[in-house]
Amino acid sequence: MPHATARTTRNTGAALALALLFACSAEERGAPQGFAPARVDAQNASGRPYSEPRAACADHDPLRQALFGELHLHTVHSMDANMWDVRGTPDDAYRFARGLRLGLAPYDAEGAPMRHAQLERPLDFAAVTDHALFLGAVSLCRTPNSPVYASQRCQIYRGELPPPGGLGIFGRLAGLVPSPEESGLDSSDYAAVVSLITTGRSKDLCGEGDARCLAQMDTVWREIQEATERHYDRSSACSFSSFHGYEYTATPGLAKVHRNVIFRNGKVPARPVSFIDVPEAVELWRRLQRECLDAGNGCDVLAIPHNSNLSNGRMFGISADARALPRGEQAARARLRRNLEPLVELTQIKGDSECRNGMFGVSGAADEFCAYEKIRVMTHGKPPEDCEEGMGFGALGGQGCQARSDFVRYALIEGLREAGRIGVNPYQMGFIGSSDAHNANPGDTNERSYEGWRGALDATPAKRLGDGDSAAIANWAGNPGGLMGAWAEENSRDSIFDAMKRRETFATSGTRLTARFFGGWNYTESLCEDAELVKRGYAEGVPMGGELPPPQSGAEVAPTFVVSALRDPGTAAQPGGLLQRAQIVKGWVGADGQFHQRVVDVAGGANSADVNLQSCAPRGPGHGALCGVWRDPDFNPQQRAVYYARVLENPSCRWSTWHCNALPEAERPAICGDAKLPKTIQERLWTSPIWFNPPAS
């Protein structure tokens, strides 16, 4: 592609000269071809152009490799992390991702951290996604020579003055929002403080026209970008990819409708989009379209919704207002969303968003494995009220109803229904898992070494096993979060971003098991024994994230799927868990308008494996690898359907069980013996779905 070539050469005069120099010396030393670093290549080994200057990756597999990463992580720049004495910077976060040691809050007088964390296995890629919301104000309040540093508002935010109304630590945010005098609203309770966010920025703090805060926001955004650039390995070693990103933190009425915005390369808009400036998701997508996709400078972007489990039905519900729009406008919005939101975050520290049994309008046998990290149920001891087709408010305050559309499985089915109604499926989403940790520690998802996720607030085992101060989630109901896998040719930004765009990604609950998932019309039963399984998977069908092509004439009139999974190999010190079963989940809308689900074991199955709860040692049989081929026996060629695979490990100790066991019996908090705290979990993997749309539709 001449366009890409032109761009790379323009940027690389000096680097190229150096590269030539180095190439000669490498040659002299007899280094093999392909290992010379500091060279600039226009394209990768498969001939796909790079969107920014870099050397082609030596480690390149056209059949793709599983890369593990994290796209949801907060550092010192996030308004909440900062209040919790988190001091880790984006640089620290990337260093941690690459396997270096990280200090954690609390800190001593010399600023030395009192805790440390380190990954046994580095990540392949990561993004720092600090809250765009208050990005400028937080920095102004934390920079001693800023003009507002000594203001009363900054002192409230820093905790030096008590927040109004005796609110807990979150009340400190009252220092950043407009005052009651400025907004005409009361700020005496938590909900009011959060709702004040939508009324704009404080003039006291941000000055006329918000100029001071916006300018500072741009500065911090540049600093984050600089760190992200520093850690991107552009050499042929391709040891690590960093992605530019931020979080768009929309919380209308305490319902979480948050998204992470992730960019393909170093071409990013000058300012992140903040909920204060852009309170509607559709406006976020339009801004991203205008300022990035249409900028004509190589900018490319996607947004990833997360924590739909705390959205009171708002993340994926179709509101009456939305249905009242002209049909063409509804379809246009759905196309915009589908284009910008190819992925969804399925699991994280604040719980699992895959599915919940017994939701309104869902038919099919109960799925026992939905009972996993359901934080609202765990925290409050009972399931929240069902919104049915409606929506609610207040999940972040532990309130309001929960809708089936809070869960991704039913959002996928809602998408099929929308495709029938307006002709576009807005929810054609692949899966990722993330941590959303606020300790600058991406990918720190090991149950055994969990150190909490919010700075000084849950810095001790006793605090982590306590209730904490959040109405939405008890500390003990949180978890270390998940990881994301991407099937990419190589560890470069372009290759991984391409995988995200085509949804060839998977989510895990934090361990590093892997799976392939292919769907097609002609796969044979023997595919699992074929050494060329992966090659045939691609050649004769579509991988996870894809859409089944129309059946060829003469083919079977039902699609066949193959799931092939490998256990997490673990480390020498901590072997990975054995696999228990691989399943396929199918969703569709029935003629009755009901949402239907079916879950089938396609390899492995129920076994006698369990855990010694005193030592946490796993016991019993399991599998190192699982492979199964499944033909859909109920396939209806006139009906849209969505299929994804789920792979379960044998049971293992939940982090809280490791914590309880480590404490002397006399010092264990009551929760350790409480039935509402699960003792074990089954770590798991979810592949992105494969869709079927009838050719005529």
Partner 1 sequence: MAFAAPPRAIVWVNVAEVEARAAAWQAQHGAPPSPALHSALTRAAGDEALLFHEALARGLHEIDPVVRSGLARNMRFLHPGGGASDAALYQRALTLGLHKSDPLVRRRLIERMRRRLSAAELEPVSPAALRAHYRAHPQRWRQPARCDASLVFLSAQRGAKLEADGKRLLAKLRGGFPPERAFTLGDPFLHGAQLRGAAQPRIAARFGNQVAAALATAPPGRWLGPLPSPYGLHFAWLHRRAPAAIPPFEQAAPRVLADWRGERERAALHRAMQQLRARYQIRLRGPQK
Binders in 55-114 for partner 1, by CB under 8 A: 57-61, 63, 65-66, 91, 106, 108-111, 114
Candidate list 307, 379, 564, 580; residue touching partner 1; CB under 8 A: 564
Of the listed pieces 195-203, 229-237, 293-301, 476-484, which binds partner 1 according to CB under 8 A? 229-237
Candidate list 178, 317, 461, 545; residue touching partner 1; CB under 8 A: 461
With beta carbons less than 8 A apart as the criterion, state whether 102 and 96 touch.
Answer: yes
Q: Applying CB under 8 A, what is the total number of residues that bind partner 1?
A: 73
121 touches partner 1 (CB under 8 A) = yes
With beta carbons less than 8 A apart as the criterion, state whether 387 and 403 touch.
Answer: yes
Kindly give the residue spans of alpha helices, DSSP state H, lying in 351-492: 375-380, 408-422, 461-464
Candidate list 567, 598, 654, 684; residue touching partner 1; CB under 8 A: 567
Q: What angle do CA 573, 575, 581 make, to 5 degrees?
A: 165
Q: Which is nearer to partner 1, 66 or 332 (CB)?
A: 66
16 touches partner 1 (CB under 8 A) = no
For partner 1, the binding residues in 402-421 under the rule CB under 8 A are none
Candidate list 270, 324, 365, 531; residue touching partner 1; CB under 8 A: 531
Q: Is the dihedral of CA 229, 234, 240, 242 positive or negative?
A: positive
191 touches partner 1 (CB under 8 A) = no
With beta carbons less than 8 A apart as the criterion, state whether 220 and 77 touch.
Answer: yes
Question: From the CB of 540, what's the least distance to partner 1, in Å?
Answer: 14
Question: From the CB of 131, what's the least distance to partner 1, in Å?
Answer: 24
Quick one: three-class SS letters along 176-198? CCCCHHHHCCCCCCHHHHHHHHH
- Give the list of residues 6+ apart from residue 211 with CB closer than 8 angstroms, or none: none
149 touches partner 1 (CB under 8 A) = yes
For partner 1, the binding residues in 602-641 under the rule CB under 8 A are 623-625, 627
Question: From the CB of 665, what's the least distance to partner 1, in Å?
Answer: 12
Question: From the CB of 32, what's the least distance to partner 1, in Å?
Answer: 5
Q: Which helix (H) or strand (E) holds 595?
A: strand 595-604
239 touches partner 1 (CB under 8 A) = yes
Q: Which is nearer to partner 1, 229 or 525 (CB)?
A: 229
122 touches partner 1 (CB under 8 A) = yes
What amino acid occupies position 58? A
15 touches partner 1 (CB under 8 A) = yes
Candidate list 32, 184, 633, 695; residue touching partner 1; CB under 8 A: 32
Kindly give the residue spans of alpha helices, DSSP state H, lying in 627-673: 655-662
Q: Which is nearer to partner 1, 31 or 322 (CB)?
A: 31
Q: Is 673 exposed, middle or buried (0-12, 13-18, 19+ CB in 10 A)?
A: exposed
Q: Which is nearer to partner 1, 329 or 469 (CB)?
A: 469
Of the listed pieces 183-191, 256-264, 661-669, 671-679, which binds partner 1 according to CB under 8 A? 661-669
Site string for partner 1, 156-185 (x = CB under 8 A): ----xx------------------------
Of the listed pieces 147-155, 210-218, 258-266, 286-294, which binds partner 1 according to CB under 8 A? 147-155
Question: From the CB of 618, what's the least distance to partner 1, in Å?
Answer: 13
Q: Is the dihedral of CA 86, 91, 97, 101 positive or negative?
A: negative
Helix (H, G, I), strand (E, B) or coil at 575: strand
For partner 1, the binding residues in 574-593 under the rule CB under 8 A are 575-576
Encoding tokens for residue 187? 């700020």
- Give the list of residues 6+ apart from residue 452 with CB closer than 8 angstroms, or none: 439, 458, 459, 463, 464, 475, 478
Encoding tokens for residue 626? 């699982």
Of the listed pieces 33-41, 79-87, 494-502, 584-592, which binds partner 1 according to CB under 8 A? 33-41
Nearest of 173, 169, 159 to residue 79 by alpha carbon: 173
Site string for partner 1, 284-313 (x = CB under 8 A): ------------------------------
Q: How far apart are CA 697 and CA 694, in angstroms?
A: 6
Candidate list 259, 356, 376, 512; residue touching partner 1; CB under 8 A: 512
Bridge partners (DSSP) of residue 519 are 542, 561
Helix (H, G, I), strand (E, B) or coil at 64: coil
Question: From the CB of 237, what's the least distance to partner 1, in Å?
Answer: 5
Q: Where are the beta strands (DSSP E) in 213-321?
A: 241-243, 245-248, 258-263, 301-306
600 touches partner 1 (CB under 8 A) = no
